[in-house]
């Protein structure tokens, strides 16, 4: 080795400092909008720029914590996203089972089609979906919207679920079959418990994606009482002319907290490669 | 789903195999009804003059919607803006910044790495509409960006009015970079240390090592990431709509916003669907290239 150890460590140190400085600049750029959200929510006279409130107050939170502004939309979100997540996860688990366990000439084309669908811009599908929903009278129904939301997440959920299921060894299932367990029993009692963390990841990820979805409920739901938080947030801008930014910030925090917490729950398992799990891992 | 044709399968075996594949039915049904169905319907509607209001009859108009689109300056404007938005925010922004962050993080100290990662990922996990609203506040005339520029005695301007497409592109970078950062962190972590160390001992500079060794080794991830960024950016609607409504005028009206405007605000469902179909075709093209690129093993 040609480099003198002492010089190398010094060079390493310098490099580390440079990297730290560069990252902190980027971090600051990412932090400013978030900082505004936190400070404005505590400021009774919040405007659009970042500033430390004269005296921190929770008034904004108590102002938005009413049935009309927060409870109903959040409950709607929970109902909409909860039911579609459940549907997605159940359908994905069922579909992944034969895809992971049995051979067939159609399995590969099926999975490729599913992966292909994952990539399609869902935004583009919304116009014909709206047209179809008008035809079959599903517009402005929570269950119709939930069905479409569930379908929109299904391709990626199937893909993830299949990848997780491939990691469960066959031996234990064969033992269960020998004991006379049926296919559904094996799936529910043996396979799914063994891939518990995987199922949790698919469930939470699906829920996070649906919770933040704006366009689908924006298009398919009309009645104010049925709107989830992602759409009801727009009423802050519409009705009164002047926007109470502090309350809007407080509401945004309340609306975002569940997904941030859920993400933290699965973050370690998502790791680096997860984002690309749809394709890269294959 | 069906037994091998050469096998003299008895009906019993056939049935057993069919039953084994039964669990796939609910998912397939949903996908057919709510995804394949609408896409097929899209293929039909795009050739009609369906409107939301007025006449009850729907006429088949052939390629009229498409001819009309290509002749419409507003459509061409939307195509150009979509291109600008995608190149600026996905290719240059998310992709490059994501790679830079991932590379820098390997050298940075642990606390800095943790803090930066947490901030970037928070921006990604936040609901789309909250992100849109935060960046709206940042770019508004009376917002934080101008306050900062003012402090530095730099000229301020009404960003959402003067450079709306730049503002929404920046917003998309703010929101989407975490994805690239995660992909590249994973890719860089898989490069064996000794390859880099050998080059370092041979006296290759940091930049040269990165260009000649690191980049070629993560070629595949770059391809994947560019493709996924492009596909996600192609369908961004809520972010732009909540920040600018495609305005002022149509200066930030990308294809999804144009489609929404035509189909719902102007009630031209047939025409809007034709635009949607074009968007789907572009997306499909990218997806096929992407699948080819990956040579997925299933």
- State both tokens at A180: 């006379």
Residues of A in contact with B23 (CB under 8 A): 94-95, 97-98, 183, 187
Contact (Cβ atoms closer than 8 angstroms) between residue B239 and residue B60: no
Q: Is B205 helix (H, G, I), strand (E, B) or coil?
A: coil
| Angle value at C-alpha A261, between A258 and A267, nearest 5 degrees | 135
B125 within domain boundaries: yes
Cβ-nearest to B35 among A117, A187, A234: A117
Check CB contact of B19 with chain A, cutoff 8 Å.
Answer: yes
Give the CB-side neighbour count of residue A52, counting CA atoms within 13 A: 0
- Kindly identify which residue of chain B lies nearest to residue A150, measuring between CA atoms: B30
B112 within domain boundaries: yes
Query: How far is the C-alpha of B36 from the C-alpha of B45, rounded, in Å?
Result: 14
Cβ-nearest to B107 among A15, A117, A230: A15
Mutation site, A117, A128, A129, interface B, largest B CB count within 10 A: A128
Q: Whose structure tokens read 């789309």? A: B128
- State both tokens at A220: 């398919």
Residues of B in contact with A47 (CB under 8 A): 142
Q: What is the pLDDT along chain A (282 residues), one digit of tens a residue?
A: 455 567 777 878 888 899 999 999 999 999 999 999 999 899 887 788 888 888 888 888 988 888 888 999 999 999 999 999 999 999 999 999 999 888 888 888 899 898 888 888 888 899 889 988 988 899 999 999 999 999 999 999 999 999 899 888 888 888 888 888 888 888 888 888 888 888 999 999 999 999 999 999 999 999 989 999 999 988 887 655 677 888 999 999 999 999 999 998 888 776 544 444 443 332
> Rounded to a whole number, what is the distance in Å from the CA of A99 to chain B's nearest CA?
8
B130 within domain boundaries: yes
Give the pLDDT confidence of B135-174 residue by residue, as tens digits.
Answer: 999 998 888 898 888 888 888 888 888 889 999 999 999 9
Residue B3 has pLDDT above 50, yes or no: no
Q: ipTM for the complex?
A: 0.88
Residue B20 has pLDDT above 50, yes or no: yes
B198 within domain boundaries: yes
Contact (Cβ atoms closer than 8 angstroms) between residue A130 and residue A199: no
Sequence-separated (6 or more) residues with CB below 8 Å from residue A194: A168, A172
Sequence-separated (6 or more) residues with CB below 8 Å from residue B113: A23, B105
Q: Domain holding B155: CATH number?
A: 1.10.3720.10
Q: Whose structure tokens read 């996990």? A: B125
B145 within domain boundaries: yes
Query: How far is the C-alpha of B231 from the C-alpha of A127, rounded, in Å?
Result: 18
Residues of A in contact with B129 (CB under 8 A): 212, 214, 230-231, 233-234
> Rounded to a whole number, what is the distance in Å from the CA of A6 to chain B's nearest CA?
15
Torsion of CA B208, B214, B220, B221, to 10 degrees: -110
> Rounded to a whole number, what is the distance in Å from the CA of A67 to chain B's nearest CA?
20
Do B35 and A125 make contact, defined as CB atoms within 8 angstroms?
Answer: yes
Sequence-separated (6 or more) residues with CB below 8 Å from residue B95: B180, B222, B225, B226, B229
Query: How far is the C-alpha of A38 from the C-alpha of A253, rounded, in Å?
Result: 8
Do B287 and A116 make contact, defined as CB atoms within 8 angstroms?
Answer: yes
Sequence-separated (6 or more) residues with CB below 8 Å from residue B18: B1
Give the CB-side neighbour count of residue A54, counting CA atoms within 13 A: 4
Cβ-nearest to B30 among A122, A154, A271: A154
Query: How far is the C-alpha of A98 from the C-alpha of A100, rounded, in Å?
Result: 5
- Kindly identify which residue of chain A lies nearest to residue B228, measuring between CA atoms: A119
Tell me which residue range forms the domain holding B94. 66-294
- Kindly identify which residue of chain B lies nearest to residue A121, measuring between CA atoms: B235
- State both tokens at B103: 């590379």
Do A147 and B276 make contact, defined as CB atoms within 8 angstroms?
Answer: no
Torsion of CA A250, A58, A264, B129, to 10 degrees: 0
Do A95 and B259 make contact, defined as CB atoms within 8 angstroms?
Answer: no
Do B104 and A23 make contact, defined as CB atoms within 8 angstroms?
Answer: yes
Looking at residue B135, its pLDDT comes to 93
Do B31 and A19 make contact, defined as CB atoms within 8 angstroms?
Answer: no
Residues of B in contact with A126 (CB under 8 A): 276
Do B105 and A111 make contact, defined as CB atoms within 8 angstroms?
Answer: no
B73 within domain boundaries: yes
Dump the DSSP string for B141-183: TTSHHHHHHHHTTPPP--HHHHSHHHHHHHHHHHHHHHHHHHH
- Kindly identify which residue of chain A lies nearest to residue B186, measuring between CA atoms: A272
Query: How far is the C-alpha of A165 from the C-alpha of B58, rounded, in Å?
Result: 48
* Count of A-B CB contacts under 8 Å: 300
> Rounded to a whole number, what is the distance in Å from the CA of B180 to chain A's nearest CA?
9
Mutation site, B5, B97, B137, B203, interface A, largest A CB count within 10 A: B137
Radius of gyration (Cα) for chain A, nearest Å? 24
Number of H helices, E strands in chain A: 14, 0
Contact (Cβ atoms closer than 8 angstroms) between residue B181 and residue B268: no
Do A230 and B228 make contact, defined as CB atoms within 8 angstroms?
Answer: no
Cβ-nearest to A124 among B26, B130, B283: B283
- State both tokens at B35: 């995804």
Contact (Cβ atoms closer than 8 angstroms) between residue A183 and residue B20: yes
- Kindly identify which residue of chain A lies nearest to residue B291, measuring between CA atoms: A116
Q: Tell which residue, A199, A185, A200, has the closest CA to residue A93.
A: A199
How confident is residue B296, by pLDDT bands cut at 50, 70 and 90? low
Looking at residue A2, its pLDDT comes to 52
Give the pLDDT confidence of B227-274 residue by residue, as tens digits.
Answer: 889 989 998 999 999 999 887 888 999 999 999 999 888 888 889 999
Residues of B in contact with A90 (CB under 8 A): 26
Number of domains making up chain B: 1
Give the pLDDT confidence of B73-92 residue by residue, as tens digits.
Answer: 999 999 999 999 999 999 99
Do B30 and A102 make contact, defined as CB atoms within 8 angstroms?
Answer: no
Residues of A in contact with B234 (CB under 8 A): 121
């Amino acid at each position: 080795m040609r480099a003198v150890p002492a010089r190398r460590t010094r060079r390493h140190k310098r490099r580390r400092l440079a990297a730290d400085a560069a990252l902190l600049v980027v971090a600051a750029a990412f932090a400013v909008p978030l900082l505004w959200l936190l400070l404005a929510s505590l400021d009774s006279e919040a405007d659009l720029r970042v500033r430390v409130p004269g005296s921190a107050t929770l008034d904004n939170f108590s102002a938005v914590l009413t049935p009309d502004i927060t409870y109903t939309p959040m409950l709607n979100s929970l109902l909409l996203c909860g039911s579609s997540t459940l549907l997605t996860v159940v359908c994905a688990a069922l579909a992944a089972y034969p895809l992971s366990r049995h051979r067939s000439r159609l399995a590969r084309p099926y999975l490729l089609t599913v992966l292909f669908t994952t990539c399609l811009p869902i935004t583009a599908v919304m116009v014909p979906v709206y047209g179809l929903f008008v035809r079959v009278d599903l517009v402005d129904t929570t269950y119709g919207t939930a069905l479409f939301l569930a379908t929109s997440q299904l391709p990626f959920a199937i893909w993830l679920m299949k990848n997780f299921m491939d990691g469960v060894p066959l031996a234990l299932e064969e033992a269960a079959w020998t004991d006379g367990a049926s296919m559904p029993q094996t799936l529910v009692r043996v396979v799914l418990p063994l891939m518990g963390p995987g199922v949790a990841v698919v469930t939470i990820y699906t829920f996070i994606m649906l919770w933040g979805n704006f366009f689908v409920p924006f298009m398919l739901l009309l009645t104010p009482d049925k709107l989830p938080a992602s759409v009801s947030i727009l009423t802050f801008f519409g009705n009164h002319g002047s926007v109470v930014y502090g309350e809007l910030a407080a509401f945004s925090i309340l609306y975002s907290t569940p997904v941030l917490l859920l993400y933290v729950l699965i973050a370690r398992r998502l790791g680096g490669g997860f984002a690309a799990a749809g394709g890269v891992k294959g | 789903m069906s037994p091998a044709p050469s096998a003299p399968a008895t009906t019993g075996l056939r049935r057993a195999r069919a039953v084994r594949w039964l669990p796939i039915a609910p998912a397939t049904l949903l996908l057919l009804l709510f995804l394949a169905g609408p896409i097929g319907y899209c293929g039909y509607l795009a050739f009609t003059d369906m409107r939301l209001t007025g006449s009850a009859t729907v006429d088949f108009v052939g390629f009229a919607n498409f001819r009309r689109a290509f002749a419409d300056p507003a459509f061409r404007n939307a195509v150009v803006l979509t291109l600008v938005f995608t190149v600026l925010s996905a290719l240059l922004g998310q992709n490059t910044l994501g790679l830079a962050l991932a590379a820098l993080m390997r050298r940075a100290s642990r606390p800095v790495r943790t803090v930066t990662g947490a901030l970037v990922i928070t921006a990604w996990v936040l609901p789309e509409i909250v992100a849109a609203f935060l960046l709206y506040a940042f770019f508004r005339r009376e917002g934080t960006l101008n306050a900062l520029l003012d402090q530095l005695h730099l000229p301020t301007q009404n960003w959402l009015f003067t450079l709306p497409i730049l503002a929404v592109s920046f917003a998309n970078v703010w929101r989407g970079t975490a994805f690239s950062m995660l992909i590249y962190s994973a890719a860089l972590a898989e490069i064996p240390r000794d390859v880099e160390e050998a080059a370092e001992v041979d006296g290759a500079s940091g930049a040269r090592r990165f260009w000649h060794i690191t980049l070629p080794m993560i070629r595949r991830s770059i391809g994947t990431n560019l493709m996924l960024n492009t596909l996600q950016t192609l369908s961004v609607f809520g972010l732009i709509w909540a920040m600018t409504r495609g305005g002022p005028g149509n200066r930030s009206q990308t294809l999804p916003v144009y489609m929404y405007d035509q189909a719902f605000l102007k009630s031209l469902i047939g025409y809007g669907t034709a635009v949607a179909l074009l968007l789907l075709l572009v997306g499909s093209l990218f997806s096929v290239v992407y699948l080819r690129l990956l040579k997925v093993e299933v």
